[in-house]
Structure 1
Amino acid sequence: MSAVRSRRREGRDAWLLVLPALLPVMLFSVYPLVYGVLLGFTDAAAGLGVETHFNGLDNYVELAGNELFWKSFKIGLVWAFSVTILQFLASLGLALLLNLDLRLRWLARTLALIPWAMPPVIIAIMWQLMLNPSYGPVNRALDAIGLPGGVNWLGEAAVALPVVIVVGVWAGMPQTTVTLLAGLQSVPAELNEAAAIDGASTWRRFWHVTLPALRPIITAITTLDLIWNFNSFALVFVLTAGGPGGTTMLPSLFAYNEAFRYGHFGYAAAMGNVMVVLIGAFLILYLRAQSRRRFQ
């Protein structure tokens, strides 16, 4: 009996130790999440004294026929996948470069982290100034080398989304680069040395030794990047606010407008719930495919 009492006391003490850290998580993460899910099944709207009623699946039925939302969802997928893939490729190349024993490597690593130290709003304002069609340095540089300048990079429907994707790649590279660089430094040097002795070229050593060793890290960071990019808001909101003509209208911006411009809180919450379910389903399939490939 004394052993059972001792285990119970230890369990109670453990909960008491965890409780101070658990309460903020419950208050600021779990409660808003649960409240948001429930809100999607109501007709909650902005205004004083407006009553909220449970309306079941009405929001989701209306959302199923909302072509503008599904158009924004497609744009969000294009944005998220493009930024994630380009970000990974650029970060992998930079991580490989920073992993070499070069002079001033410490300075290069420090400079690579600059976008990480800047808030998304500041990054967006900086790029707005650089891409300004009248006095931005990008157009001036194009004029200086004889190429046509004066392009309204963020105001023309044909180029706005690709430009915003480039900005998103630049802004998100540091964390991906640091993660991949840490993975490269954890790859045993003996494996590459053994492959080199066997006559493997640099490319074959990278493809058959380095890349397989990085696969768990690649899976983790690309999954996180995809979630972060799909849920991106501040960067695109400041850059274009979803324009021009809705060509950069991400689903998070669409839901924001529905909630805070038109006051349809319940409908906007339903949009958030749909986004979570669809992205969650895709991530489950992606992680399952990666785990099967890992154990083959």
Structure 2
Amino acid sequence: MTMRTLTPPDTEVIVTGRPASRRTRQLRKAGEAYAFLSPTLILLFVLMIVPIVMVIGYSFQDNVILNKSPEVVGLDNYVAILTDSGFWKATGNTLFFTLTSVAAHLVLGLSFALLLNSRLIGAVPRAIFRGLYVLPWLFTVAVIAVLWRMLLAPNGIVNFLLNTNIEWLASPQLALGTVTFINIWAGYPFFMVSLLAGLQGIPSDLYEAATVDGASPVQRFWNVTVPQLRPIIVSLLLLDLIWTSQQFALIWLTTGGGPIDVTEMLSTFTYKLAFAKYDFSMASTSAVLVLAMSMIIAVLYVRHQKARD
């Protein structure tokens, strides 16, 4: 079939053939979408996919990076790292640091969110408290580390107020608990802000109906507030587990994993293998194991988000 269309002045446009099929139009739209996404996809491939594949490859070799002729050793690196007492010490410290921090973040964040959402506090005090409670979230990790190192120094303000001379960050008995406290102080505002937004989105009709039914404040909390906040709480817990288990900067800038290995985390353990001992094969193996543990939590988070949607 041939169609002839006249366009002024005396110009002919001849269109021959059948209209484009639906599949062709879909392919054209998909091609346009991927063309717009291509810069981001290329960056992700170069900066994330390629390094991950290289690290996984290094974990099955020996004498990598510094040696021009690496040797394939199979699973020997994994056997060595899993039988290393230092790795398990770092794993135990990471579990204590992570679980304690996440639990405290939830309790403090929810408590302060309930306080700021209460009608018992006026508008001006509420605004002041919000600024004070969010303050730790405004500092970078470096500032937080330097700040607390100064506060907890033997001649710092904390020892002055307590009238003691304790080495908070250098004591084998106190160092792990101290860095955990610092991380709790730095991380609870994220929970507080997220849960406060969730509290403000709960319909007041639910509380009114519970009050009419004779529910006490405690019953209203457990039967109205907690079920309404459950999706947000689960998402926050999973995200915080991933972030806290990979905390490096705070530990490195406060204790460096010491004294001895009291505050050694999986992140600092892997870093020292690579850049202190220059054992990149074992460092890659440790990094792959950390990646596998993080992926388990990430899969749980994605499944929760899909179920929530």
TM-score by length of 1: 0.89
AA matched with 2:222? W
- The correspondence of residues 34-183 of structure 1 with structure 2, limited to 5 A, is 34-45=53-64, 47=66, 50-101=68-119, 102=121, 103-104=123-124, 105-133=126-154, 135-143=155-163, 149-183=164-198
- Offset of 1:91 from its aligned partner? 0.8
User: 8 Å contact 2:58–2:64 — kept in the other structure?
Assistant: no
AA matched with 1:140? F
- Offset of 1:108 from its aligned partner? 2.1
1:250 aligns to what? 265
Q: Which moved more, 1:209-218 or 1:180-189?
A: 180-189
- Offset of 1:207 from its aligned partner? 0.6
2:250 aligns to what? 235
- Offset of 1:45 from its aligned partner? 4.3
Which whole-Å CA distance do the structure 2 matches of 1:95 and 1:10 have between them?
A: 45
Which whole-Å CA distance do the structure 1 matches of 2:38 and 2:301 have between them?
A: 34
Which whole-Å CA distance do the structure 1 matches of 2:45 and 2:114 have between them?
A: 40
Percent identity between matched residues is: 35
Which whole-Å CA distance do the structure 2 matches of 1:41 and 1:106 have between them?
A: 55
Question: What secondary structure sits across from 1:200 in the alignment?
Answer: coil
User: 8 Å contact 1:46–1:264 — kept in the other structure?
Assistant: no
User: 8 Å contact 2:117–2:196 — kept in the other structure?
Assistant: yes
User: 8 Å contact 1:41–1:54 — kept in the other structure?
Assistant: yes
1:170-216 CA-to-partner distances (Å, cap 9, x unmatched) read 11112121111111111111111111121111111011100011111
- Offset of 1:23 from its aligned partner? 2.3
Q: Aligned pair count?
A: 285
AA matched with 2:100? S
Q: Which has the larger share of helix?
A: 1
- Offset of 1:270 from its aligned partner? 0.5
Higher normalized contact order (CA 8 Å, seq sep 6+, divided by chain length): 1
AA matched with 2:238? T
Q: Which has the larger share of strand?
A: 2
1:227-255 CA-to-partner distances (Å, cap 9, x unmatched) read 11110000011111111121100011111
Identify if the C-alpha distance between structure 1 residues 280 and 9 changes in structure 2 by more than 3 Å, giving closer, same or farther: closer
- Offset of 1:44 from its aligned partner? 4.3
TM-score by length of 2: 0.86
User: 8 Å contact 2:60–2:281 — kept in the other structure?
Assistant: yes
AA matched with 2:133? A
Cα RMSD for the two superposed structures: 2.2
User: 8 Å contact 2:239–2:301 — kept in the other structure?
Assistant: no
User: 8 Å contact 2:137–2:186 — kept in the other structure?
Assistant: yes
1:106-153 CA-to-partner distances (Å, cap 9, x unmatched) read 2322232222221111101100000001x211011112xxxxx11111
1:190 paired with 2:205, answer yes
* Bigger radius of gyration: 2
AA matched with 1:224? L
User: 8 Å contact 1:219–1:287 — kept in the other structure?
Assistant: no
